[in-house]
Structure 1
């Protein structure tokens, strides 16, 4: 209780100091869930109080809520081999030396630079990603390209658009009925430069419902259901180990710290 009190006081301090205008979070212990809301959803051009039920741009938390979990389920069920060549499942990629394990643990050696990225349309960006440079450095270097490629792979495996796959394989199964790609209504603003309810991530803006790295929106209630689904299924205990070949530990899709915690963050301030 003391640690919880200190945690809540710290959150209040951050809001009062203007580190962020407001936040919504939940603490789970078994089936017991407590949700908290602090501060405002925006302060420009005027203060607007943050209220329950709003949808959040998950940014890179989309990697685990969507694409990562869909791939993990296929791996744990034996339908995908994490050490098979990635091109076995996604032949459009130009390099047959990479494995699913490397993509899931960010150890591909991919150089994420894309020349003139902001000038490319969907087909130009997809072609650039399919032919992205792969270097010899296989240490852990986090990049969204890995999960964009995993999203493309899922579309090959299921022969369906990624949004339909995630809806059928994750969201509907776990009753996350308000989780989807943008644009959405009733969203929390992310930036003055981005229309409310539209995705903030530049690549997701172009790739839309085919983007495996970002682009999902969800309310707190759906994220609670997501975490509870992980807690309820013992197969996910298999993720509590290091799957990366290298000095930095990574689980499949998730960061892995202190040999115990699975976590992921997003550019918009999201965190599981």
Structure 2
């Protein structure tokens, strides 16, 4: 436990200092594992204790836990090529410049801004995202992280397999991995609340993400709920068994190399952000964050990982102290795991 002493202190101080109501975290290092569930599931309207079986809104971790493994299976099956134009599958976009690799690496320069977006129905929002968006001049030149990239990726999967992307993830990722604590439709009592908003009140059991809330089962960028236990199962499976054989060595390799079409190293693989290990060889480590206060870091070479679930947006989303401490946490963890 001494190895991760500073990392654990930063984690636990998030609750002690009331930066977040509660948290569930897991650190694993080969066969060793440390974990804790601390604090409350909510402060308002009244305090409620957090329990280990409660499910957090993963927000953008949905991208890498669900949509990326689904799409990589389809890539292995030859359903598409990474440098194939997005318009081959979504002709409504018009432009043939942006590729599927651009979507994975957020280099498409498609902004995703829709006027009065949150007032639209699912049908109206879908039409707007397909028919009013333009590929900008910085395609292949700049990384601009945007949910729309993974909304499009999810829709490509839907057009290939003719089912909602959430259902495809359930069938082709969650079920084979036996991730029984992961769902897109949590029971309200088990869901950890997120923000309190004027329009929706206390958000509980429904995705916090506005686009995901409107699009429902057709959103590849958000909507998944899970526990640290299940995310640890996923993380270990990814770096130890190629997701229990769902993917090949060659496919998993693609997650640990820069996939951007830009010159130089820009630290984006297929959906994941890349960091360099602090070890002598500076080998790649993958990570992703979620808006609601979630984080996963995986080191395939060293068999190590960190999973953190919080609801940092409760009761309000403007929690910059969490963002600052998350940066400290990641740097400290990357340093300590090499000790």
Give the TM-score normalised by the residue count of structure 1.
0.94
**Matched ranges for 1:17-166 at <5 A:** 17-131=17-131, 132-138=133-139, 139-166=142-169
Tell me the distance in 2 between the aligned counterparts of 1:58 and 1:147. 15
Return 135-144 or 177-186, whichever deviates more.
177-186
Task: Please state if 1:238 is matched with 2:254.
Answer: yes
Residue 301 (structure 2) aligns with: none
CA drift of 1:144 comes to: 0.2
Please state whether the residue corresponding to 1:59 is helix, strand or coil. Answer: coil
Please state whether the residue corresponding to 1:140 is helix, strand or coil. Answer: coil
Residue 193 (structure 2) aligns with: 189
| Structure 2 gap ranges (5+) | 243-248, 277-282, 297-339
Residue 256 (structure 1) aligns with: 274
Tell me the distance in 2 between the aligned counterparts of 1:46 and 1:119. 30
**Distance of aligned partners of 1:9 and 1:75 in 2 relative to their CA distance in 1, 3 Å threshold:** same
8 Å Cα contact 1:57-1:215 kept in structure 2? yes
Q: Runs of at least 4 residues of structure 1 off by over 4 A?
A: none
8 Å Cα contact 1:53-1:220 kept in structure 2? no
Tell me the distance in 2 between the aligned counterparts of 1:144 and 1:53. 28
8 Å Cα contact 2:55-2:186 kept in structure 1? no
Tell me the distance in 2 between the aligned counterparts of 1:184 and 1:217. 10
8 Å Cα contact 2:254-2:270 kept in structure 1? no
CA drift of 1:243 comes to: 0.3
CA drift of 1:197 comes to: 0.8
Please state whether the residue corresponding to 1:264 is helix, strand or coil. Answer: strand
Tell me the distance in 1 between the aligned counterparts of 2:54 and 2:286. 25
CA drift of 1:72 comes to: 2.1
Output the aligned Cα RMSD. Answer: 1.7
Please state whether the residue corresponding to 2:93 is helix, strand or coil. Answer: coil
Task: Please state if 1:228 is matched with 2:236.
Answer: yes
Tell me the distance in 2 between the aligned counterparts of 1:37 and 1:178. 16
Tell me the distance in 2 between the aligned counterparts of 1:38 and 1:81. 44
Tell me the distance in 1 between the aligned counterparts of 2:155 and 2:124. 14
CA drift of 1:183 comes to: 5.0
Tell me the distance in 2 between the aligned counterparts of 1:184 and 1:95. 41
**Distance of aligned partners of 1:151 and 1:68 in 2 relative to their CA distance in 1, 3 Å threshold:** same
- Could you give the per-residue CA deviations for residues 79-136 of structure 1, whole angstroms, max 9, x where no partner exists? 3210111122333433222101000000001122111212211111001111212211
